[in-house]
Structure 1
Amino acid sequence: MITPWDPWWSKLSAKEIRLSKEGAQLVQPLSEQESVIVNETESNESSEIPLGPEVPLPPLSSLSSKEPSPLLTVHLVDILYSYCFTLRLYNGDWRSDPIGSVMVVLSVSSVLGQGGQPETVLEALTHCLEQICSPAYRNMGGLQFGLGVIDDVISLLSLGSPAMVCALCDMRRLIQEGEKEAKSEKPRKSRRNEIRSSIRQAERKIYFIMCWVHEQPVEAWSSLAAIVMAEKTSAMEFQGSNKAKILNKKAETRGKCLIEEIE
């Protein structure tokens, strides 16, 4: 029997993540006495937290001469959702299938997989939930499971920048490992080039938003977490005993349902 995976962001040690001022890992060697005191549980928990960047993150201004888009907060929600869902799908072990994990990320995230530009948190979550309710992932638990992943996103936002930088760094490693595996596979040449192009673009976007997250003030995340929670509450209000529907703003005016799951 497979033991249910306990997400690293739910661990107490996740609240203690610290990075350098430049966003890199902090090396804090323990004294011999301290090493003896650290118990096995704490050690195991810490080892489950993905490592942050190995080198300092560059200033955002060095990556782009333009002002960061105000929509990056929305795109962050989309990206974190795809990360949390992928880890839950693979029971926390994306390394068991790097290319498969990458394809899940690209299919769930409109920002990474389709170059999407969602303008509201509701729009971003609606797209993600629509994918979770698709035949490809419905056996994971459908809409109910998808709504639960929103709680994972809220948890990461509540932990603040260091935890999110570590999550995005882990996601970047996932993408990079997937790219290596994609290079070694032999699908049709045109298909291989298409996949590798999508992976490279996703890797660049993740790195950019990781640098952006590092520069944001602490107070930005509590307000974003509150918005995500409010949208989840709104989504849950649409649930019924036989149907579950989530409508985005356009769907409300057109009377068209974007997601419909028949239980």
Structure 2
Amino acid sequence: MAESVGVKKVCELCLKATSQYTCPRCNIRYCTSVCYKGESHANCSEAFYKDCFMEALKEKEVNEEDKKQMIETLKKYEDDPYDLDSDEEELSLEERMSGLDLDNDSDEIWSALTDVEKKEFQAMLQDGRLGHLVELWEPWWTSHNAALVTEVGKKIQPPKGQLQILTKIPEIGLLLKNPPSENIKYGVLNILYGYCYLLRLHNGEQAADSAIQFCQDLKEISDCLGDMVYSLTSEALQIAIENISGKAKSVFVSQEFSISIIEDVKHVIIGPDTSSSIDYVLAALSDIYRNFVSARKMVNNELKNVTKPEEQAALKEMKKGFFKIGKGVEFKLAWAKSYGAMMQSLIPELELELCSLTSEFATQSKVNKYFEKKLKAKPKKPLIEEL
């Protein structure tokens, strides 16, 4: 994540140069890839690269050239000079990979590697070679126009990668007879958190055929896609964070990563510039809406190939749920179009919540380390003592 224009802070790793980026996992500021891959940040960067590398194996849109390059990269390390006691002749890498689907069989591919190949993979993590295979995604919402004054009639270009806002957003006045509740902004906040979390988790990748999984994960994180209503910023964020380590634990990375997403939500609410502050909120909600529409169509296609009554019933229920949530997101789009500027008032609260949760996490980590150290140092009492 690039630093906001005009803000100069020192690199938190080398404590010398000016920071240019923010780690997508732990939110620490750093100046260059040297610091990012350095020893003091190794645990975070290594885990990120490995997750991204293994995730890349699962992507549906891997072309033949990428597959060939992957095989050639692994082939360099197929010789095992230490395995001299083996009674059987080891199969070549190509033979071991034969029959495996490089798009989906990531676990099987890992199992097919020799111990030396796995060690080499770990070495690539350690020395940063793997980092060259994974391009860090910079979210479109982190780009803000620094100019407060622009020429009359001059159109500001949207940031690279910014998603399109739906063109047919209904007017909120046509959906409601009375003015909408101010608490809707907390629901939007809750949904934006889940959206930013999932995009960060997958390094910005959104495969066309993964809409169902994306929507299911988002539904587990953001309760406001259902009937839940919040009246506080802290509620909207903290319950989403709790959901990630609870019912949505399949997407859990770390508490530190979950907390860092609050910074992303703040960027979405800030918007591209002062004249169009709601555009990022509208773009994010539009993308969420499109995902639920796509997921519903995919479920409908699956229904055509299912004959068992119980499976049909489950898919119909899922389709119904996606339709209902899609309508809810459409309503929030209509609200944001007319009242989205209200979200700006949440920025100070987001900053306070980020500071508070970060402090709590740091304190709890210190306490945990203290007791872990005490437990390790404490000698074990013998089970039987001489009287």
* Alpha-carbon offset, residue 89 of structure 1: 2.4
1:33-57 deviations in whole A, cap 9, x for unaligned?
A: xxxxxxxxx89x53x11011223x3
For structure 1, list consecutive stretches of 5 or more residues without a partner in the other structure. Answer: 17-27, 29-41, 245-263
Of 239, 243, 250, 1:136 maps to 250
1:107-162 deviations in whole A, cap 9, x for unaligned?
A: 111011x4211222111111110122233122x2x211111111111001111212
Which residue identity lines up with residue 92 of structure 1 in the other structure? Answer: G
> Residue 151 of structure 2 corresponds to which residue in structure 1?
none
Whose RCO is larger (CA < 8 A, sep 6+)? 1
Of 301, 305, 330, 1:184 maps to 301
**CA pair 15-109 structure 1, distance change in 2 beyond 3 A:** farther
Mapping of 1:151-230 within 5 angstroms? Answer: 151-159=263-271, 160-185=277-302, 186=306, 188-216=311-339, 218=341, 220-230=342-352
RMSD over equivalenced CA pairs, Å: 2.6
Which runs of structure 1 show a deviation greater than 6 angstroms over 4 or more consecutive aligned residues?
A: 13-16
Mapping of 1:2-151 within 5 angstroms? Answer: 2-12=134-144, 45-46=159-160, 48-55=161-168, 57-96=169-208, 97-112=210-225, 114-134=226-246, 135-138=249-252, 140=253, 142-151=254-263
* Alpha-carbon offset, residue 14 of structure 1: 11
Work out the CA distance in 2 between the residues paired with 1:115 and 1:232.
Answer: 26
1:64-119 deviations in whole A, cap 9, x for unaligned?
A: 2232112101101101111111212232222341111111111111011x421122
- Are the aligned partners of 2:185 and 2:343 in contact in 1 as well (CA < 8 Å)? no
Work out the CA distance in 1 between the residues paired with 2:223 and 2:315.
Answer: 20
Which residue identity lines up with residue 130 of structure 1 in the other structure? Answer: E
**CA pair 178-243 structure 1, distance change in 2 beyond 3 A:** farther
Work out the CA distance in 1 between the residues paired with 2:367 and 2:301.
Answer: 44
* Alpha-carbon offset, residue 209 of structure 1: 0.9
Which residue identity lines up with residue 110 of structure 1 in the other structure? Answer: D
Which residue identity lines up with residue 209 of structure 1 in the other structure? Answer: K
Q: Paired residues, what number?
A: 213
**CA pair 78-183 structure 1, distance change in 2 beyond 3 A:** same
> Residue 37 of structure 1 corresponds to which residue in structure 2?
none
**CA pair 118-221 structure 1, distance change in 2 beyond 3 A:** closer
Give 1 or 2: higher helix fraction. Answer: 1
Work out the CA distance in 1 between the residues paired with 2:179 and 2:217.
Answer: 30
For structure 2, list consecutive stretches of 5 or more residues without a partner in the other structure. Answer: 1-132, 149-154, 272-276, 369-387
Larger Rg: 2
**CA pair 67-241 structure 1, distance change in 2 beyond 3 A:** same
Which residue identity lines up with residue 137 of structure 1 in the other structure? Answer: V
